[in-house]
Chains A and B, each alone.
Chain A
């Protein structure tokens, strides 16, 4: 059976996306968990998995200049558009490995064949075991290009794991923002839950990320976290998103138990409290919406 994939995103960071995913993991009764926030992965901190075997991930290469054949002609520096080639005072050329994007143009134009491309390990990924199901997670190397390729890889492994273990659902913790990693989290997913907060910035960022979601024509719903912080804005955001086609909008009031659960290293459902009850209601509605998207999804038949 084709597993269904729910992606939780937020636009703005720090709205409680990861806490919601961990809570959903506890409620789902068997799902594959995918941490797509590879730039700052945190899901493992509350799911406390038994770590799986780490695998290197490489999605780019970097130029290397061999000093011997190099004649110092400077052609590489001329063609590089990323300011990645520098010349030392004694005319030795070298590559800034952080600035290099791996286009290999310098290698191709070097008249002395002094440049070669080396593949760069720019991340690590693993399939770990949690009490709620397998967790596919990864870590992008510091200062690497979050091109979305590692996110795509995490999702591919999550799908393979779901098929292998016969699990019907993938719960993905998406990345903040609207760029590559978010686009890579959404491509081919079935349902999106956007977690926001009733602040001027939360509203602004939600609007932008929902434009991306609508561009993909994905069904979506919204969870307004810390709703009691600004009830007027919560109401306005709720009305906005329903008008934009959200299947539902639910609210969760601020509850110190959410942070307390994180400090205790557990999900908020296991920890308990008011927010846990509200998140459980949101989960029930999400599960119903996922079932509906499945029925309506005849194109995959």
Chain B
């Protein structure tokens, strides 16, 4: 099973465009592909793929609950909580679920065994089927409940749901940035495709993303969206850093318009298919080259 993560430092550079079009193309070519939408704060793949027969499973985190009959208000729970998620006022214990990291310290260390843990739902994992002419594939989507602050448990649940057997290729659409939810999305990938645009903002954030991928000991290639806008500093940077550019998607108003309507480029502008086909060949070569290296 090949695991390819699609990420970017800057948001809005075309991660989702790349992921949904590549998934559709691979399904059309007869690959057993599964797409994981791990951008759980703003998951958008489904808008382009229209999955059907969706099932939904809650993502639960554990939070402490106090048994008042046993609690002596000794404050051990508040003292051991590294996240200020539990406090004692007078003789009552207050839990702030949105601050809790579910580390399990307070129930384990409470001398009166007055705390137990209960589930709290912070998101959903949806699984649906996407039909392509002659084939279909699975889309697994993580959705963080609006108002919830912590995406990582939902990201982990999407990965867990998506990485079972039954697919040759697992594509992961990661959130933007370089922090924890991104790490959870790209961890274990055979290759990370970093999507950028050739602008100063795009380049600045690409540098951060490359730094992140290298800190994780993973390998990256670059896909440039809106090629032709901006300047050539991004291409020069990739050359200097030895980063292969696997796709240059031109800056074309027809692409932007098709995207705005939620259309797949491989369908709306079939002449672009070959760009995605050649990108896939380069991705496979990059992974293979890595494997034969001593």
Residue ID in chain A nearest B9 by CB atoms: A40
A144-B146 in contact (CB<8A): no
Q: How far is the CB of A58 from chain B (nearest CB, A)?
A: 13
Q: Is A110 an interface residue (CB 8 A)?
A: no
Q: How far is the CA of A146 from the CA of B150 in the complex (A)?
A: 10
Task: Give Cα A202–Cα B48 distance, bound, in whole angstroms.
Answer: 13
| CB closest chain-B residue, reference A60 | B82
B47 A204 Cβ-Cβ under 8 A: yes
B152 CB to closest chain A CB, in angstroms?
A: 8
Q: Which listed segment binds A: B51-59, B86-94, B173-181?
A: B173-181
Q: A12-B12, A143-B216, A262-B230 are in contact. Are A178 and B41 (CB under 8 A)?
A: yes
In the complex with contacts A11-B42, A143-B215, A263-B199, A109-B108 CB distance below 8 A: yes
In the complex, the chain A residue whose C-beta lies closest to that of B231 is A263
Size bracket, chain B contacts: 35 or more
Are the CB atoms of B108 and A105 closer together than 8 Å?
yes
Bound: A202/B176 CA distance, A: 15
Distance between Cα atoms of A42 and B177 in the complex (Å): 12
- Distance from A205 Cβ to chain B, minimum over Cβ atoms (Å): 4
Contact between chains at A200 and B260 (CB < 8 Å): yes
Known contacts A39-B177, A143-B183; is-contact A208 B9 (Cβ 8 Å): no
Nearest to A202 among chain B residues (CB) is B260
Interface residues of B (CB under 8 A from A): 9-13, 16, 41-42, 44, 47-48, 80, 82-83, 101-105, 108-109, 144, 146-151, 175-181, 183, 197, 199-201, 204-205, 208, 211-212, 215-216, 229-231, 253, 256-257, 259-262
Q: Give 25 pairs: A residue, B residue, CB < 8 Å, sorted on A.
A: A13-B11, A13-B176, A45-B204, A81-B102, A98-B183, A98-B215, A103-B105, A142-B211, A143-B179, A143-B216, A145-B180, A176-B11, A177-B11, A179-B149, A179-B151, A199-B261, A200-B44, A202-B260, A204-B44, A209-B42, A211-B146, A212-B146, A229-B256, A233-B261, A256-B229
Closest 10 CB pairs of A and B: A13-B11, A14-B12, A103-B103, A200-B262, A177-B41, A146-B179, A39-B177, A13-B12, A230-B260, A201-B44
List A residues at the B interface (Cβ < 8 Å): 10-15, 18, 39-40, 42, 45-46, 61, 79, 81-82, 98, 101-105, 108-109, 140, 142-146, 148, 176-180, 183, 197-202, 204-205, 208-209, 211-212, 215, 226, 229-230, 233, 256, 259, 262-263, 265
